[in-house]
Amino acid sequence: MIEIDTYPPVPFNQADTIRLISTAYIDEPAMSPLVDDIDELGFLEDLEGLTSARRGAGLILPSGVYLDELLTERHGYGWTYVNAAFCYSRPTGNRFNGPDRGAWYATWGDDAIETAHAEVSWHLTRELEAVGIFENVTAYRELIASFATDMRDLTGMDDAAVFSPDSSIGYPAGQALAANLRAVGANGVFYPSVRRTGGMCLAAFRPNTVQNIRQGNTWEFTWGGDIGPNIEKIV
């Protein structure tokens, strides 16, 4: 039994955390052809948002997510990506979220992109391993986000189960801890990467803590028959 009081809230201020998502889910803003710079785009999006009928229309939420905590167009670029992270989860969940509620996972620190590569590589390699074919090309775009909030620091945690590389052990332990932390109002956790020694990760539990989202580089992951991918920056 982990005593959550052992991990009190501490300030977490990071300007350039990195989350990689498949470029299949990246859409160019519809109004981009109408503007010359990002300021003009923001102005037009604000105007469009005043009369938008898309906000919340037809949204079916998982049992662990509430409509009033989701972001809207007024939060600016990236609000749909944040909502998607909380509304969609694997059937087994992940290390710090169960199947009924997602979380925003990202890497941070001077070597954040190397850690993001390692995390994404591990997950997609497991999927390829399941079908027994290591032939795949997938492009991922950086979503860079800022945080200025309190989180729980798990870097000194000595509970081996939470950070077990075996997901059948680590996920149930981490999900139980996360559920207890959310119940007492925690915004999220930051912790050492399980997939890359020395790397740092975070899991945000609240959509409104994810701020100032912008796009970064695009990376192509190529599996050519080997278990590990070749990773190349393409933009």
Place of tokens 């785009």: 41
Task: Give the per-residue pLDDT at 58.
Answer: 46
Residue 94 phi, psi dihedral angles, 5° rounding:
-130, -165
Task: Give the model confidence (pLDDT) of 125-180 as tens digits.
Answer: 999 998 888 999 999 999 999 999 999 999 988 778 999 999 999 999 999 999 99
- What residues does each domain of the chain span? 4-27+61-233
Q: Which among 65, 56, 60, 69 is positioned nearest to 100, based on CA atoms?
A: 65
Task: Give the per-residue pLDDT at 42.
Answer: 52
Q: What percent of the chain has pLDDT over 90?
A: 66
Pair of tokens at residue 31: 């109004």
Q: Which residues pair with 188 in a beta bridge?
A: 204
Task: Give the model confidence (pLDDT) of 96-129 as tens digits.
Answer: 999 999 999 999 999 999 999 999 999 999 999 9
Region 68-88: mean pLDDT is 92
Region 59-77: mean pLDDT is 85
Between 16 and 35, residue with greater pLDDT: 16
Please give the full DSSP string across 46-81, using - where no structure is assigned: HHHHHS-S-TTTT----TT--GGGS--GGG-TTHHH
> Which residues are within 8 A (CB) of 18 and not within 5 positions of it... i.e. 6 or more apart?
106, 107, 108, 112, 113, 116, 142, 143, 144, 216
Between 67 and 152, residue with greater pLDDT: 152
Give the pTM: 0.85
Local confidence band at 235 (pLDDT 50, 70, 90 cut-offs): low
Residue 180 phi, psi dihedral angles, 5° rounding:
-65, -40
Task: Give the per-residue pLDDT at 44.
Answer: 47
* Rounded distance between C-alpha atoms, residue 138 and residue 124, angstroms: 9
Local confidence band at 6 (pLDDT 50, 70, 90 cut-offs): confident
